[in-house]
Structures are given as structure tokens and as C-alpha cells.
Structure 1
Amino acid sequence: MPSVLPFDPPQRLVRALEAQPDAQAAATAASWLRGLPELLARWLERWELTPERVVSPGGRSSLVVLVRQADGTPAALKLVAPDGAPAPDRALRESAALARWDGLCAARLLRAEPGEGALLLERLHGEVSLRALPEAKATLEAVSVVRRLWVPAGDAGGVFETVAEHTRTEAALMRAGAPAEVRPLVDAALEAREELLGSTGDGGEPVLLHGDFRQGAVLSGGERAPWLTVGPDPLVGEAAYDLARLTRDRLHDLMASSGAASSVRRRVHKLADSLDVERERVRGWTLYRAVESGVRNLSAGARADGEMLLDFATWL
């Protein structure tokens, strides 16, 4: 049996799972964390993998371990945490999206048991993301990657939520959890969502979206490709939705700069124009997603991050 690394789960993962929105989800997450060493050992044995190290700080919804396959080929084992819905949902969506992209600007899926939350992925250079580049260069490379991800969902389309379905649940939580002082901003975000879903503009046909596309999710691909994305939370919908998270990249740096509000508006226009997407649709989804993230952070007790996101939203 392959040796198992002695480890404590990365604290970013622990904190995220402890901040579940309800008691049942929190209990499920706690149970998963307690069983993580045994779960890791089982998948190392089943897929004949030799562990090298746990990726830290890692993500907020999964454990990633760098491994070697039986033939010595490097790979990354990803164990996906339950998401409050039936446990396999997140892993099923990710594996379906990666299979659909088949290595096109995304990490290749090598093996998968999505029903058990286990994915074996092509190993990328995780220590080098687009955030290592100057902002202008990083934006240029990000545009190149995301453009190629936007393909029809194909036969796997039924696996993914639509943007409308996904944001319906978020919108309900926003209405219920927003403090009184941010209600006007929440109302503006919800109105933007309704307007965007009620019209199509020139957004074209719905496409497969990464769902959490940002500079930190685009890693060096080494010899196979300069840059490849990881960690999708895939949806089906209009392209403008996928630019909303990218628009607020390097937010701490942006907040500390002079003329930040003008810089944000220029960034929206630049991304929209680079990808032939309506500026107003990018602005609207950026507003909605920033407010949703801000309210969610406030609800989880991360007040500084929540207030920063809401400040960012006021510039839109």
C-alpha cells in the first residue's frame, strides 16, 4: 500500500467548510474532514499512487495532493468535499466540464470517480499562476484562456446548472441575510440580475462557463501549454457572467490605489471589448457577483472581506 503523508488539512479548507450556511451542511463537512486521512489512504491504494505533498494553502472545497502514478508520471489527486447537496454533485460537474474541454486550456482529467468525490488530474505548475505576471500581461493571457473555454456544453449539458438556476438560490440567501445598511446595494444587484436574465443582448448562445475564472485559477502548463485553468465550478450561461470574477482580481491592490473607481470601470470596458461582450452586461454581472460575495462574507463573519467587496460594488 502506498505510504500516506501525515498531515493536517490546510486551514483555508477547514475554515471554509466550518463556515457552512446551516447546521446539517456543517455537520456533513466536519464528518468529511474527520475521515479525510482514511479517504486519502483509500484512493492512494486504489489508484496505485505515491503521495509527495499536500498542496497548501490549497482551495476551499477540496484537498489536493501531488502524487506519482505507478509508472512514475506526476499527477494531482483531488478529493472534493460535500457541498451541502448530494455529495457527488461538485465532483460530477467538475469532471464533466474537464472531460468536455479535454485539455483545451484546462488541466486534463486522467481518472475520475465523481460519485465518490475523487478526481485524478494532470499536474500543472501550481506555484506559478497568472498572478505572477504584471497585470496587463496577466489580463491578456486570461482573455486568451477563457475565450477557448466557452464551448457548447454538448451532451453533458444536463449535468450543469444554468446561471439562472444557480443565482436563484444565491438571490434568496442575499435577501434573507443582508444587513439593513447594505439593502440598497443588494436591491441594485438583484435588479441587475433580473434585467440580465430577462434579456439576451448580443450575448449569443449559452456556453459552458468556468464559473470561478480568475488569474489564480490559471496555472503554468509547462511543455504542453503556457497556461491552463483549474478548479472550475461550471455553469451554462452567457459569457459575461464568467468575466465578473476576473474583473475584481487583485482587489487588495486595487483598493489601495488612487483612482480605483475609474480603474474598475476601465477594466470592465477592456475585458468586454477584448472578448466582444457587451460592456453593460459585464458591469451588471460584476455588480451582482461582488454584492453576493460581499453579503456571503459578512454572513460568515469575514467582515473585512465583505466590506471590501461591497465597496468595490459601489464603483459599478
Structure 2
Amino acid sequence: MAERSGGNPRIETDLTDFARSIPAEFREIVQGRPAEPDVGGDDWLDHLPTQLAELAAAWDLVADGPVWHGVCAVVIPCHRDGEPVVLKVSWPHEEARLEHLALQNWGGRGAVRLLAADPARWAMLLEPLLHDRNLDDIGLLDACEVIGDLMRRLDRPATPQFTTLSDEVDRWIPVCRNGSPLVPRRMTEQAASLLADLRADCDGRLIHQDLHFQNVLAAEREPWLAIDPKPLSGEWAFGVAPALWNRWDEATSAYNLRTHLRLRLGIITEAAGIDEDRALAWSFVRLVTNAIWEAQDPQPGQPELSRWITAAKAMTD
């Protein structure tokens, strides 16, 4: 999710001011989260003002504000030695654990440039981007082409530290086999079968598994750069799905939803140089597993569940 502004327009080095600068909306998102696996949301929020002050001192930062946030991190424009930088501090969770390492591997080629990292504090210092402009702001087909081009540019071998896609598949197969009364059984069985087939030779490339339109921001040194990678050792065909389920209003307003989503997928795979059939299969199983997880929520959201199932149907012949 792309960061958005909120909270106090400026941040001072005083701890009380740091605490007041954390947007209330972000607190509501994080409060009550269980630990994944070490620090729950409430404890992390309590310690965050101290952590921000420690990072400001360690990296000689002067905060400029405003505070931005997504669903798992605060992002604070700063400067040091007169140069603009951005401080990002994430709530500790598995998907963010190796974000700094992925950005280090990419070295600013197609992704935001990493300037410094403090993994123990889940903190990174990044180059500034244009946070008010992302791929939602351009035509959909052009945006899909940008996504595919970024996949091609980001493609490189994954180092051994990253979680493998095959390990994820091993967890998802029983999820699909068990299914849910709220998700059509034929879909969950098909997803389990496809996962067993896709598992072979699916590891080895460093991929951004959440490369959608809001996770690509405009920049000064390049037109578009990827952010928030949620890295994985996998294959890029797996990474197409988020560009299908985002900008959903445009999908539902299309004359034929299936044709619309297939067009998105085709543009991305052609620009990225990846196999369209594998992208189709991976997109189907990701949508089905999303539907199952939504259905397992104590209060599943009907619009969300409907979106996952409808989009999954569009991936089948």
C-alpha cells in the first residue's frame, strides 16, 4: 500500500512531539495486532517515539514532516547534511524482515534506493520519491506496461536469505485442500492441483510479490520506482496478480471483466518477458487463497470475498 500523509505537519526531536506526530489513523491500524512473532502492535507503538528519537540521533536526521504511513510503517521526510532523505520504520512482521536486503540487491535499479538500514529497529533510510504521484495517476494500460518493465529490470538471482516460493506453496496446498464453505469447492480443488504442478522450478529469482500501482512512485532520477517489495525467492509469473486486483473499480466498470483482466495480464507478461500461462495459473491460485483467508476471518467482508472469487473466475477458461 502506498504511504499517505497524516498527523502533525512537522516533527521535532523532543520525545513528546515524536509521539504526537504519529498519526491517529496509523495507531488504529496497528493497535491490537498480535506479535509476528516478537512484538505486538501495542508494545511497538509504545516504543516507537523512543525508537524514532534514537534513529534521528544515530543518523543525524532533522525531520521535516509530514508523517506518512501505510498499514505497517511510518515514513518521515527528513534531511541530513542538507540533503533530503526519508526515514521508514516498519512494524516488525515477516514480509518486511528482508526488505532492506532486497533494496540493497536492486541497488536503486528499478526500485527506491537504500541509503542505510538498521534491521534491529526495522528501519531504513531511503531516497525521497514523489509520494503524491503513483501509477494510479496514469492510464491503466500504460501503468500495466510500467509494471512489466519494472519486473524485467528488477529481475536477478535471489540470495539464500529469502523465503522461497516453494515453501509458501507447501503451506498453501493444505489451505486449498481444506477449502471453505464460502468458496466454491471446484476452485479450491483446482488451486491445490495447480499449486502442486507450479511448485517445481518456481524458486530462484528475487521478486517483488506486491508490485501494484500504488507501490510504484514517481521519482526525479527515474520516471517510476518500486517501493515496499515484500521480497521472495520465486518467479515473476507469481508477481502479476496484485496488478489485477488493484484499480478494481476499473475492472468492474469494464464491459467484460474477464477480457479486461486478461488484457492487464497480457500487457504485463509481454513487457516483463514472462510466461503468460504460468502468470495466469499463479494469479488464479493467489486469488483463491485470498478468498479462503477472507472467508476464514470471523467477520469476512462480502465485497472483498466477492472480488477474490470473481477475479479468480476470470482467470479460468
Q: After TM superposition, is the score higher than 0.5?
A: yes
Which stretch of structure 1 is more off in the superposition, 137-146 or 294-303?
Answer: 294-303
What is the match of residue 138 of structure 1?
143
SS in 1 for 2:85: strand
Distance 1:59 1:215 in 2: 14
Whether contact under 8 Å (1:245, 1:289) holds in the other structure is no
Whether contact under 8 Å (1:32, 1:81) holds in the other structure is yes
Give the share of equivalent positions with the same residue, in percent. 24
SS in 2 for 1:159: coil
Is structure 2 residue 68 aligned with structure 1 residue 75? no
Number of equivalent positions:
298
Distance 1:189 1:13 in 2: 36
What is the match of residue 171 of structure 2?
169
Whether contact under 8 Å (1:13, 1:59) holds in the other structure is no
Distance 2:242 2:36 in 1: 29
Q: Shift of the alpha carbon at 1:151?
A: 0.9
- Note the residue ranges of structure 1 that are not aligned, 5 or more in a row: 84-88
SS in 1 for 2:76: strand
Distance 1:100 1:247 in 2: 27
Q: Shift of the alpha carbon at 1:297?
A: 3.3
Paired residue for 1:63, among 51, 56, 74? 74
Paired residue for 1:100, among 83, 105, 108? 105
What is the match of residue 32 of structure 1?
44
Q: 1:35 to 1:169 in 2, by over 3 A?
A: farther
Distance 2:233 2:24 in 1: 31
Distance 1:40 1:108 in 2: 21
Structure 1 runs, 4 residues or longer, greater than 6 Å off? none
What is the match of residue 309 of structure 2?
310
- Note the residue ranges of structure 2 that are not aligned, 5 or more in a row: 1-11
Distance 1:47 1:310 in 2: 47
Give the TM-score normalised by the residue count of structure 1. Answer: 0.84
What is the match of residue 275 of structure 2?
278
What is the match of residue 211 of structure 1?
209
Distance 2:123 2:36 in 1: 22
What does 1:9-20 align with in structure 2 at a 5 Å threshold? 9=23, 11=25, 14-15=28-29, 18=32
Distance 2:180 2:277 in 1: 27
Distance 1:278 1:91 in 2: 28
What is the match of residue 86 of structure 1?
none
SS in 2 for 1:310: helix
Distance 2:296 2:27 in 1: 18
Q: Shift of the alpha carbon at 1:105?
A: 0.9
Paired residue for 1:49, among 61, 78, 84? 61
Cα distance per residue 1:54-107 (max 9 Å; x no partner): 544x322222111112x1211111111121xxxxx5554111111111110111
